[in-house]
Every structure is written in structure tokens, then in C-alpha cells.
Amino acid sequence: MTVRAPTTQLLVALLGLLTTACPDDGGTADPSTNTTGSTSDAPADTSGASSSADPTAATEGDDSTGEATTAADPTDASESGGGVSVCGDDVAEGVEACDGTDLVGEDCVSLGFDGGRLGCDARCLFDTAACTIACGNGVVDDGEACDGDDLDGEDCASQGFDDGALGCAADCTFDVNACVVAVCGDDAADGPEDCDGADLGVEDCISLGYDGGAVVCDAACEYDVSGCTGTANCCEVQDAVGCGNDGCEGAVCGVDPYCCETQWDGICVGEAYSMCPEVCLPVCGDGIISGGGEAAEQCEGDNLGGQTCEGLGLPAGTLACDGACAFDTTGCDGLPGPCCTANAVAGCEDAACQDAVCELDAFCCAAVWDGQCADEAGAEAACIGLPSCPDALPVCGDGVLGPGEVCDGAELDGATCASQGAVSDCCSPHDGLGCDDDACEATICAFDAFCCDTNWDGQCAGEAAENCAALCAGGVLGCAEGCDAFDVSGC
């Protein structure tokens, strides 16, 4: 089979197509080439060649040399056509959304966020990485009623209810489902009710200032103290009128009838302190339980004011009064718990461990074996190996944080110079305006007002690290020789 060679006409047509399709490949056709001069068996068709535009053809504005002038880059031209926008010159123009510090009046809120700091990236486009959606961050921000546990000081009463637990919904609005309206007679003491039926709240005759007896709730949901025994303390607020000392009551009510006609309130107590100091300033040992507030006696000799071990939340036993007119609970029965665990009673289950701890901390045997007592037990040789206690004493210097140790070598339990107050908070982001060093704060806020007007965020802290280097050097927190304190000398 004979294969025909392509005609000159076909070659010229292909050359025209290639020239049209690839104007920017840098290799333009020579406009002086005469395509009609090629030898061919058929007449040359010059129409195909002449239809292809010469990419080197001069446009309007070319110079006298015949070379084409370069057209402006359309990405650099401003929309107004009056100048060239340059990304990075702090002037937003043309197609730029922003430029450096020029945010054209926009901020995170205007872009649909709840707050934060709007930035501008190297391409002159908005950078919203530091913008925040506030709901859910645990802090009440503009437009939120609440956020998590932060109720902004509000409660059920401020929302028109009598009592209950105000909550915060997922959309940062108040959840009042657990709020209640007090209804006297429903056996639930709510809001302004002293009590309701069998619900006496937390009060009893003793807490109301009497020696004992039984308090009940009347039809108006107020305390009925007619069943209480003894007399009410003149030096403490009472729900009833008058007080238990006729002389003091007469003196106070003589100048303030409200105290004997309506209620013995805080003003009456203040008047009692002033007019009856012998009643309100107790004398331990006189057999009379007296005093009010922090000065009040708990007991006097055999007079316990009707109180018992059970009434104090302790196991049954014999309650006594010590020489300071305070309750002595050592006679309250009950099995002490493990020595390295906090207990509700004094002492712990092992006598040797208990004695070792109480020799250093008498509170643990005189009052209650609390968390501090348990920690002290963990550091006593007499307690090692007991249930809940470590198998060995802590060794200061082994790099392992043990009972009674604040730190051990490089083990600082997460503490830093900053957590120990040895580094200015200018150097770390925190909620609030400004920082704790006036000079550094003034330096930063002079060029970044956001730090003093809105929040001291990560960018402010970074600026402080750069501009207040000495303040933010931080340093290295160490552990003191005895492993019982931090060494801040390196901060």
C-alpha cells in the first residue's frame, strides 16, 4: 500500500493551529516567513496561514522599534484602575481583603465569630485562626446569658423563681428546668419558706438558739419553736422575738421595739453586744453558754446545750466539753479508718501510726483525721506498709514524688516559675486586660491596644516576650534540698 506524504496545505494549516493555541511558549513564528513559497503539487492556500494571528504583532501603544509593550498584570491592578496594589504595604486596596494592620474596619464579630483577634495573612486575605466562638468556653461573653458553670451571678430567684438550681443550656441561655416556685404545703422547703411540713431544712432547736427540744413547721411554713427548751441566745440572730436573758432583752427592746415585736435580727444582736457585753462576751467556766458568732461557747462543763455525738454527725458515744468550752468528741464511738486515708473521726486504726502522727499534729487526734493527717501518715516510718499507706518512705532525691514531698529533684508536679508567682503574667496569655508589670503593659498596649482593651491573649504574650525579654526570661524552677519546698532562685 502506498502512503502519501502530507501536503504543504495540511502542514500550513497545522502550523496555524499550533501558533494560535500556544501564544506564550516563547517560540513565535517568524512573521517574514512566506508560506506560499513552498513547493507543492497543489496550489498553496494562503488563507489558512493568514488566519493565524502573529503573537508578535504590535498592539496599541507599542514603540517605534516594533517590539510589543508588556501588558500590566491584572492581579496587580486596583479595581479603580488608579494605581497598583502591593500586598504588604499596610494599605488594603484593589482586590485585597486586607493588608497588614489595615483590616478595612472588619473584626471577628463582623465576620460571624463571637470574638477574638482578626488578622491578615501574607496573601492579604483575612486570617480568622484567632477568632473564637465563645459559647462553650466557660466564660460569659457578650451576647451570652451564661456559659457552662458561669451563670454571671444569676440564680433561680433572679429569674423570677423561689428556689432551685439554675443551669446553662448548650446555647448559653439559662436552663430553668430545675427552678421551682415555692408552694407552702407541698412538704418541700423552697425559696422564702423556713420549712414545709416535715421538711425542716437544716434547722433544729439548737441551731435556732435553744438548748434542745423539737421544732415543728406551722401552717405558714415558718418555724414553730414552742416545743424548744431553754432560751434563745441574745447574741445571735433568732427567727423569734426577744431573747433568753430578761435583762438584756429589756434593755434592747426598750430602745428598739422591733426586736420584741417582730424578730430578733442582726441589728438587735449588735445592740445586745453594745448594751449587754457581759452576756455576749463569754466567760468560759461560769456554767452559762454565752457569746455569739466566733466568740460563742459550744458548751459549759456538763451543759452541752442539748448537743450529742450524733448531732455532730459522729458515731454514737459520749460527748464532753473541754477546758476551752468547745466540744470534746474523743468519747464519740466509731471505728477509725485507715491511717493514710481521711476519716470522719479523730485518730486512725493503727495505734503506733496514730501516735506518731498526733505527736507532730495534735489536731489529728483531738478533732478529725483529715487529708493532711493522712498525708503526714504516708511520710511516717510507723505507718509504712499499712493498708492505704505506701510500702516505703519517700526518699528525697530519688526523683519520685512521695507522700509529704512538694517536689523531688526534677519532679516538680507540674509547677513552674510562673505557677509560683516568680514570672510576670505579661509573658503568658490570660483572661483580663493588661498584665502585672506596668512598664511592660504600657509598652505593649502602645502599639497593640487589643491587649488593654479586650484581652491579654497569646499575641500579647508573644509581644511581651519580644519587648520585655528580661521580664519574661522565666528561668528554671528547682526543688529545695529537703523536697519540702520549691527553689525559685533560678526564676
What is the pLDDT, as a whole number, of residue 341? 83
Distance of alpha carbon 466 from alpha carbon 126, whole angstroms: 24
Q: Give the strand pairing for 174-175 and 179-180.
A: unpaired
pLDDT band at 344, cuts 50/70/90?
low
Q: Note the Cα 379 to chain centre separation in Å.
A: 34
| DSSP H or E stretch at residue 465 | helix 458-467
Asked if 384 and 431 sit in the same domain, the reply is no
Who contacts 387 (Cβ-Cβ below 8 Å, separation ≥6)? 338, 340
pLDDT at 107 over 80: yes
Number of domain units in the chain: 4
> Which one has a higher pLDDT value, 148 or 416?
148
What is the pLDDT, as a whole number, of residue 302? 84
What is the pLDDT, as a whole number, of residue 56? 36
> Which one has a higher pLDDT value, 10 or 228?
228
Q: What are the cell numbers at 386?
A: 499499712
pLDDT at 428 over 90: no
Distance of alpha carbon 120 from alpha carbon 97, whole angstroms: 8
| DSSP H or E stretch at residue 174 | strand 174-175
What is the pLDDT, as a whole number, of residue 35? 39
In a domain, 4, yes or no: no
Residue in this structure with the C-alpha cell 483590616, named with its chain if needed: 103
* Burial grade of 156 (CB within 10 A; 0-12, 13-18, 19 or more): buried
pLDDT at 286 over 60: yes
> Which one has a higher pLDDT value, 373 or 205?
373
Mean pLDDT for the stretch of residues 212-221: 82
Distance of alpha carbon 13 from alpha carbon 189, whole angstroms: 100
| Among candidate residues 133, 164, 189, the one where a domain is terminated | 133
pLDDT band at 31, cuts 50/70/90?
very low
In a domain, 289, yes or no: yes
Residue in this structure with the C-alpha cell 442582726, named with its chain if needed: 266
For 445: left if phi > 0, alpha if psi spans -120 to 50, otherwise beta; the answer is alpha
In a domain, 248, yes or no: yes
In a domain, 54, yes or no: no
pLDDT at 76 over 50: no
Asked if 389 and 429 sit in the same domain, the reply is no
In a domain, 24, yes or no: no
Contact 272, 235 (CB under 8 A): yes
What is the pLDDT, as a whole number, of residue 211? 61
The most confident of 341-345, 412-416, 440-444, by mean pLDDT: 440-444
Distance of alpha carbon 204 from alpha carbon 210, whole angstroms: 9
pLDDT at 345 over 60: yes
Overall pTM surpassing 0.85 (yes/no): no
Distance of alpha carbon 271 from alpha carbon 410, whole angstroms: 59
Lowest mean pLDDT among 100-109, 123-132, 399-408: 399-408
Asked if 383 and 436 sit in the same domain, the reply is no
In a domain, 452, yes or no: yes
In a domain, 94, yes or no: yes
Distance of alpha carbon 237 from alpha carbon 268, whole angstroms: 8
What is the pLDDT, as a whole number, of residue 324? 83
> What is the domain extent for residue 100?
85-133
pLDDT at 252 over 90: yes
Tens digits of residue pLDDT in 435-488? 988 999 999 999 999 999 988 988 898 888 888 877 776 667 889 988 888 888
Contact 87, 123 (CB under 8 A): yes
What is the pLDDT, as a whole number, of residue 445? 95
Distance of alpha carbon 339 from alpha carbon 388, whole angstroms: 7
pLDDT band at 425, cuts 50/70/90?
confident
Q: Which residue in 468, 421, 418 sits closest to 442, CA to CA?
A: 468
Asked if 235 and 291 sit in the same domain, the reply is yes
Average pLDDT across the chain, whole number: 76
In a domain, 43, yes or no: no
Asked if 382 and 431 sit in the same domain, the reply is no
Mean pLDDT for the stretch of residues 294-312: 79
pLDDT band at 82, cuts 50/70/90?
very low
Q: How many CB atoms lie within 10 A of CB 311?
A: 16
